[in-house]
Amino acid sequence: MKTRITILLAALFVSFNISFAQQDEECMNNLSLFDGYVKSKRYDEAYEPWKIVRNKCPKFNRAIYAHGEKILTHKIENSTGADQVAHINDLMSLYNQSREHFPSKYDEGEILVDKANLAYKYRDELNKSAEQVYNMFDEAYKKDVKNFTNAKGLYTYFSLAVDLFDAGKMPAQKMFDKYDDIVEVIEGIIGDNTLKLNKLVEKEEAGGTLSKKEGRLKNYYEANIKAFEEQVIPSMDKKLGDRATCDVLVPLYEKNYEENKNDGVWLQRAMNRMYAKGCKEDPLFLKLVEQKNSIEPSADTAYYLYILTGEQKYFDETISLETDPLKKAKLYKKLAQDLKSKGSYGKARQYYMESVNLNPSDGSPYLAIASMYASSANSCGSDNFSKRAVFWLAALEAEKAGRVDSRLKSTANRNATSWRASAPTKSEIFQKGNAGQPLKIGCWIQRTITVPNI
C-alpha cells in the first residue's frame, strides 16, 4: 500500500471506528497485541491475534490493513512453495479488503497498482505471464490514473510494454504511445510536487522559517521529484534504447502519417519523439510541425518552428501561447541554454531568470549563470584583481542554486568552493585596501560585488 507521510501514520492506531461491534473486547485486546508485536517487528507473533481481528472485526481499525501488509510480507519472504503462494494470495485479498472496508483511505488506483507490483515480483511463483501482469497495471491506468502515482509501478508498467513488443505481442506504435502515456502521468506528478515545493522555497527565500511539518514536506517533494526525474524517466529511456532511433521512427511515422494527420495528439507525440531522439533534421519533422501548426497551433509547434528557423518571432509566440507556468519556465530555460551555447550570455541570463521567477525551486538556472560568470572572468575586469573578483560572484550564484534546490546542493557547494579558491586572497585584499567595499563588475555582467572583509 502507498507509503503515507510519517505525520499521517502517527494517528493510525488511534483511528478507531468505535461504533462498530461496540468496541468488541476480544478485537480490542488482540488489536493491542498485534500492534505491539508489529512495532517491535515480531511479525510471526503478531500473525494470530491479527487474524482474529481481521476475521471478526474487519472494520474495527485501519491498522488491520496497514500492519497486515507488513505481517503478510514477512510471511511471504520467509516461506516457500504452496505456503508462500497462499500468503501472496492472502495479501492480494487484504488489498481488496482494505478498499472494501476503508474506501476513503485506499484509492482504487493505489490498490490495483499494489496488487500488480506484488504479482510482478512473484510472477514466477504465481505462474503469471508478462501479458497478464501488464494487464493488471493497465487496469489501474484505465480505471484510476489519477492515483497511479507509484514510481516502481509506472516503470514496471512501461518495462512490460517493451517486453511485449520484443515478444511480438505489442505493435511499436502502441509501445511508443504507452511511453507517452506514462511520461504524461509522471510530468503531472512532478508538476504537482513542484508547485507545492515552490511555495515553501519562496517562503524561505523571503526570510521565513519553515515549520517542522513544512520541512518534512519539502524533503518529501524534493525526493519525489528527484526519483522521477533522475531514476524513473532515465530508466524508461534506457529500457526503450535503440527501439526508438530515427531509423525506426521515421519509417513508422511516414507509414502512419496519412491515417493520423488530423489527430493532434498523434502529431504532437510524433514531433516530441523525433525531437527527443535527434531527428529534427529529417524532412518528416518539419512536415509534422507544419501540419500540427495548421490544425492546432500551440506553444509546442511554435517552439519547434523556432528551433527549425531560429526566428525570434516564433519563440515570442511560444511564450504567448504557453499558459502553464512550469512549462513556460522550461521553455525559457531551453532558450537560455541555446543562447548560452552561442555565447550570448547577457540575453541567456535574462531568460534563465525568467525561468527562475516561474519555477523558484529549480536551482539549475543559477548554476548556469554562475558558470557563465566564471568563464567570463578574464574578459570582465580591468586588472587581475577585478577579473578574479568575478569568481566571488560565481560562487554566490552557485550557493543560491544549492539553497533553493537541495538536489544540486553537493554540486553547487563543490563549484562554489572551487570558484572561491580562484578569487583574490586575503593578502591581495589587504594590499588592495578595499575590504568591505563595493566593486563593479563590467562587460555583460554589470553587477556589483562586495569585497569580503579580511
Structure confidence at residue 214 (pLDDT): 96
Q: Is 10 a domain residue? A: yes
pTM, rounded to two decimals: 0.86
Domain containing residue 31:
1-106
Q: Is 294 a domain residue? A: no
Confidence bin at 315 (pLDDT 50/70/90): confident
Structure confidence at residue 3 (pLDDT): 45
Among the listed residues 185, 227, 214, 238, the one whose alpha carbon sits nearest the alpha carbon of residue 407 = 227
Mean pLDDT across the chain, nearest whole number?
93
Residue 212: pLDDT over 80: yes
Among the listed residues 342, 412, 402, 403, the one whose alpha carbon sits nearest the alpha carbon of residue 371 = 412
pLDDT by residue (tens digit) across 117-156? 999 999 999 999 999 999 999 999 999 999 999 999 999 9
Residue 11: pLDDT over 90: no
Q: How many independent structural domains does the chain possess?
A: 1
Q: Is 46 a domain residue? A: yes
Mean pLDDT of 370-395: 94
Q: Is 127 a domain residue? A: no
Structure confidence at residue 23 (pLDDT): 52
Q: Is 389 a domain residue? A: no
Q: Is 417 a domain residue? A: no
Q: Is 122 a domain residue? A: no
Q: Is 279 a domain residue? A: no
Structure confidence at residue 1 (pLDDT): 52
Confidence bin at 10 (pLDDT 50/70/90): very low
Mean pLDDT of 33-38: 96
Confidence bin at 368 (pLDDT 50/70/90): very high
